Structure 1
Amino acid sequence: MGVIHLIRYSLKLFLIGFAVFITACSSDSPSALNDADTDMAEDASYKMANDEATEEKALGFEGEAEESHEQEIAQEDEQVVKNQLPDVQMIIYTGHIQVEVDDLTTMNETIRTKVAKLGGYVVSSEEYVSGEGERRHGRIQLRIPQEHYEEMMQFTEENSAKVMEKVSNGQDVSEEYVDLESRLRSKEAVEERLLTFMDQAKKTEDLLKISNDLSAVQEDIERIKGRMDYLDNQVAFSTITINIQENQVKVSELQGRDDLNTGEKAQSLFMNTVNFLITIGSGFVVFLVGLSPILIPLLIAGGFIWWKVRTKKRSHSNE
């Protein structure tokens, strides 16, 4: 609109100047021509002013229309988000239950059978022995369809001798999921525009820039889809962790004759003792032989001193 307005304004100025030029060059009826030129100039100025006012008014109406359209789009987007809120809330359920049972093996098999029947699966399982009396303990983590969550918790409680702890938690992710859907639509719209720009681009620099932007947008799309898939799975299947403690105390059995191995153990102890004595004797011999260059002169000197002392004692006793 600004360019058209400038062209019209330039054309009108040209017409006014042309009219003034003709008036100045003409010699006939100068007063009449001057009056005519004056009227033409006034008419052109009035028309130009009217045209400018009309264009400004049109621009004002156009701006108001654009603002009104943007407000309508914002209201429509808000209404779309409200309509997209799920009828059923998306809640992630997690449960933890600690029980005491008479037999750990039987309870483990019972839980696995029930989980398979309800359409769930076991994530991990472990058994270990600890504490006084070597009590057996077990831990099972399972995923169960959300509609059977309470049923599985109740089943575990009913099939145990004692419930020591029971915890159930829920996390509402409905708002996060709706936000992810909105972000996904926005990113997919950007992806579509970038693909269109890529088809129309002719310069290598433009293609590289669009390709980089497209790669970043596609990464965001994959990240959003991954998070949505994770939330879908967590909502569809609840997680339950069951800690099991067996209340039976393991009693050691009396060993039989074959388990004692008395003869073999006695023979082994005897051979170990002989080997120990041999080791000590061998070490003593090595000690004497190794220190013989020192021990022999010391023994000779000691023997000579002992002989001299004894000889003196005998001579004194004879006197």
Structure 2
Amino acid sequence: MKKRRILYSFLMAVVLILTACSSGKEEMKFTSESRSEQKADTGSGDSYGYTAETTSEGPAAAEELKDSGTLGGETSSNTSANSADSGRKRIRRISLELETVEFDGALKVITEEMQKAGGYVESSSINGNRTTNNSSRSAQYTLRIPIDKTDGFVKMMGDSMTLIHQEENSKDVTLEYVDTESKVKTLQIEQERLLALLEKSDNIDAIISLEDRLSDVRYELEQNASALRTYDNLIDYATITLYVSEVERITQVESKGTGSRMKTGLMNSLLTMRDGFVELAVWFVVNLPYILFWGVVIGLSAWIFVRKFYRKDKKKFPASKVNTANEKKEEDNQKD
């Protein structure tokens, strides 16, 4: 009996071991198959994969990244690096501060060059008036210029006017762009699946649940698609801000030499004195009516005051008394 029990136990142990091995093999096989399917989906551009969507170019972009050194661990050349860099998504902003003595002509040049480049005005403002002060007018433009025409437009602005200050910055939004693009594709796939399930479903509760989820998916899809369109606009069109000031003379760039600095300072002082005399003459002519009016008022007031004071002196010291006093003094002097 004992031998039989031992034999049965041994057989059961062998059966359990074989069962565990077969289940382990099936699990490993399922895992490897799922991994291969995931890799295949990622390589085919599925919405759940990010590797091939980084540059939104599919296998060609992946091959390009491999050649440039991003994939494969090889050292990239300058040509390959430039090619890979061109796939980045960047938002470019430029700020220009300009001076001109021909304000109206400068504004005309800005409009013409913007239209030639295929850009448009996002906002604009003009301050000042020619009748008040010729050097007080200024303008501010926020322009959107196609990215491939941006450098030519900036150069034209510097050639037609005097560039005082230039500032530029670039923001890399590649990761945000790819993430938003991936969300859009994922939501589109989910929307298609929900629509397919909605057509096949006959259960009222299931239909209501599917419609609720479909409404949420459509809302998220619209938000992400709108964000993607905004990114495209900011990437394809550079934002250029122009500050244009009208001046009587262009600001000269001062060199570092002592003699040149002295010459520039002397010229600036003389020009400032000239401008001061001109402004004084203009102020005098403009305010001449007020000057004449107050001159007449002050003159009449002074004349009336002097007349009154003279009359009081006459009453206090009459002329006869003055003459008598003088005669007495002369007689006293003669007697002495």
Q: TM-score band (shorter)?
A: 0.5 to 0.7
Contact 2:135 2:247 survives alignment (8 Å): no
In the comparison of the two structures, how many residue pairs are matched? 218
SS at the partner of 1:185? Answer: helix
Quote the offset at 1:168 in angstroms.
0.9
Instruction: Look up the match of 1:68.
Output: 32
Instruction: Look up the match of 2:21.
Output: 57
Quote the offset at 1:44 in angstroms.
11
Task: Give the Cα separation in 2 of the matches to 1:76 and 1:169.
Answer: 40
Structure 2, gaps ≥5 residues long? 44-48, 56-83, 250-277, 290-336
Instruction: Look up the match of 1:135.
Output: 136
Quote the offset at 1:176 in angstroms.
1.5
**In 2 relative to 1, CA 77–199 (structure 1 residues): closer, same or farther, beyond 3 Å?**
closer
Task: Give the Cα separation in 2 of the matches to 1:171 and 1:150.
Answer: 17
Instruction: Look up the match of 1:220.
Output: 220
Task: Give the Cα separation in 1 of the matches to 2:12 and 2:223.
Answer: 59
**In 2 relative to 1, CA 243–184 (structure 1 residues): closer, same or farther, beyond 3 Å?**
same
Alignment of 1:26-65 (within 5 A): 55-65=19-29
**In 2 relative to 1, CA 90–132 (structure 1 residues): closer, same or farther, beyond 3 Å?**
same
Quote the offset at 1:94 in angstroms.
0.9
Task: Give the Cα separation in 2 of the matches to 1:105 and 1:254.
Answer: 29
Alignment of 1:87-126 (within 5 A): 87=84, 88-126=87-125
> Between the two proteins, what is the percent identity of the paired residues?
21
SS at the partner of 1:81? Answer: coil
Instruction: Look up the match of 2:156.
Output: 155
Instruction: Give the TM-score taking structure 2 as reference length.
Output: 0.56
Task: Give the Cα separation in 2 of the matches to 1:118 and 1:198.
Answer: 49
Aligned-CA RMSD value = 3.7
Whether 1:85 aligns to 2:49 is no
Quote the offset at 1:139 in angstroms.
1.0
Task: Give the Cα separation in 1 of the matches to 2:103 and 2:248.
Answer: 9
Task: Give the Cα separation in 2 of the matches to 1:95 and 1:246.
Answer: 21
Task: Give the Cα separation in 2 of the matches to 1:65 and 1:182.
Answer: 30
Quote the offset at 1:58 in angstroms.
3.0
Alignment of 1:175-254 (within 5 A): 175-248=175-248
Structure 1, gaps ≥5 residues long? 1-38, 261-319
**In 2 relative to 1, CA 253–118 (structure 1 residues): closer, same or farther, beyond 3 Å?**
farther
What code does the residue aligned with 2:127 have? Y
Whether 1:172 aligns to 2:172 is yes
Task: Give the Cα separation in 2 of the matches to 1:100 and 1:230.
Answer: 33
Task: Give the Cα separation in 2 of the matches to 1:165 and 1:77.
Answer: 51
Instruction: Give the TM-score taking structure 1 as reference length.
Output: 0.58
Instruction: Look up the match of 1:146.
Output: 147
SS at the partner of 2:52? Answer: helix
Task: Give the Cα separation in 2 of the matches to 1:170 and 1:128.
Answer: 30
Quote the offset at 1:45 in angstroms.
10
Instruction: Look up the match of 2:306.
Output: none
Quote the offset at 1:153 in angstroms.
1.2
Give a deviation string over 1:15-58, Cα, whole Å, max 9, x none: xxxxxxxxxxxxxxxxxxxxxxxx9xxx9999988776555433
Quote the offset at 1:201 in angstroms.
2.3
Task: Give the Cα separation in 2 of the matches to 1:69 and 1:182.
Answer: 24
What code does the residue aligned with 2:104 have? T
Contact 2:97 2:166 survives alignment (8 Å): yes
Task: Give the Cα separation in 2 of the matches to 1:58 and 1:83.
Answer: 36
Quote the offset at 1:185 in angstroms.
2.1
Quote the offset at 1:234 in angstroms.
1.0
Contact 1:103 1:248 survives alignment (8 Å): no
Give a deviation string over 1:90-124, Cα, whole Å, max 9, x none: 21111110111011110000111111111112222
What code does the residue aligned with 2:54 have? L
What code does the residue aligned with 2:121 have? V
Contact 1:135 1:248 survives alignment (8 Å): no
Quote the offset at 1:186 in angstroms.
1.8
Quote the offset at 1:254 in angstroms.
11
Quote the offset at 1:71 in angstroms.
3.0
What code does the residue aligned with 2:156 have? F
